Structure 1
Amino acid sequence: MMGHMGQGPAGEQERDEPIRVVVVDDQELFRRGLTMLLGVEDGIEVVGEAGDGIAATDIVVSSAPDVVLLDVRMPKRSGLQACMKIKELVPTVKIIMLTVSDEEGDLYESVKNGASGYLLKDSSIDEVAQAVRVVAEGQSLISPSMAVKLIDEFKEMSRAERDQVPTPRLTDRELEVLRLVAQGLNNRDAARQLFISENTVKNHVRNILEKLQLHSRMEAVMYAVREKLLDIT
């Protein structure tokens, strides 16, 4: 699903503080298990857990975590509603949606509402820990197969908007960066492929988002697929 599985954080600035995580799932066994497993991961600290969307919002506001793992399907306030509410109250928090299936139509909504990505519930604990580290770094979790599913909805939604604005021109280098990002590479791996510095990649990504008036790497991926900049079959 993502590049660089299991490789250590060598070469990036070490965080002094652990990444603070809140786990939200209405299935107690799943939630407790995830909390325990993440608790022994290096550099990750679980600071709270909740079993529904309302409790989730309260705990995020009181504990101000870095990352929230949020179940899509929950009572009292769905994961989607919780995602919107949390982003509204604590905009800096990164949200990863937990889902049983990548067929969820809702996932598109969650991305639009500020989620940094999604994880399938049958992911390994290594993948979950890696995902937490990746979004804490400000990157998105993207699987191209999901991007393709998102596109159809995106096309419908954006056709009207797109008719009003001419597509801004990206430079060749920006297009290269966008392609790599859209394939799920993180900044470091994209930098390696293009033989440029990680910082330069970050600046390119920032410029791409500004030019295209997009809010996240995830939206940039959808844009890339929609504009046929990627060959994802």
Structure 2
Amino acid sequence: MQQFNGKNKEEFVHGVFSTIAHRYDLMNTTLSFNRDKYWRRYAVKETNLRPGGMALDVACGTGMLSIELAKLAGTSGRVVGLDFCENMLAHAERNIEKTPYKNNIQLMQGNAMELPFEDNFFDCATIGFALRNVPNIEKCIDEMRRVVKPGGRVISLELAKPSAPLFKQLYYLYFDRLVPLLGKLGVGKDGPYQWLPNSLKLFPHQSVIRDIFTKVGLKDAIYHELTGGIVAVHVGIK
């Protein structure tokens, strides 16, 4: 299994997402059996974002979580979607143009390791299906904590590790064998979707991520397991 550190991981992940950007949304829906929409709605509900609020969506990808945030922030609110991959941002722009929130979502290119915002700026910060991909999980979460106002929430929506024995075996069989195959059929290239199961194996258990939330100073850190524990939503309060 390939492992990375720092800049090498950034470059590799950038290449992966540049390759799959054109099929990212379709593959997410297909591989999750259409559960990804529910997962995003659940995560956004946990932000406690109110109409007129300001939200940051870190590693926003194609903008689907940013759009869900904009639904809560409303026409008087603002959502900033930040990603380091130009191809993903281009697809995000097209997705957002189809919504009533195109004037309320600002997209920008940037690095999750060094968020280009002042302290205590946003009402909440989210990251969806990207914490596995950052070079330093603790630094990313700490950066999100830094830019959120006191009382605001940091939310991570991410793949998790189910514990039920039979379900766990079936899940990893699907992830290890079928996901790379379906990914190859979807994007027409072998390799990019092999990163999905590999990245999950390298990613810490959801209890460890909760402890990292606590370590960086987020209060009342908790996680919610969804769909049998294949996904976890972590919540921490500044």
User: TM-score normalised by the shorter chain: which range applies?
Assistant: 0.3 to 0.5
> Relative CO higher for 1 or 2, CA cutoff 8 Å, sep ≥ 6?
2
| TM-score, normalised by the number of residues in structure 2 | 0.34
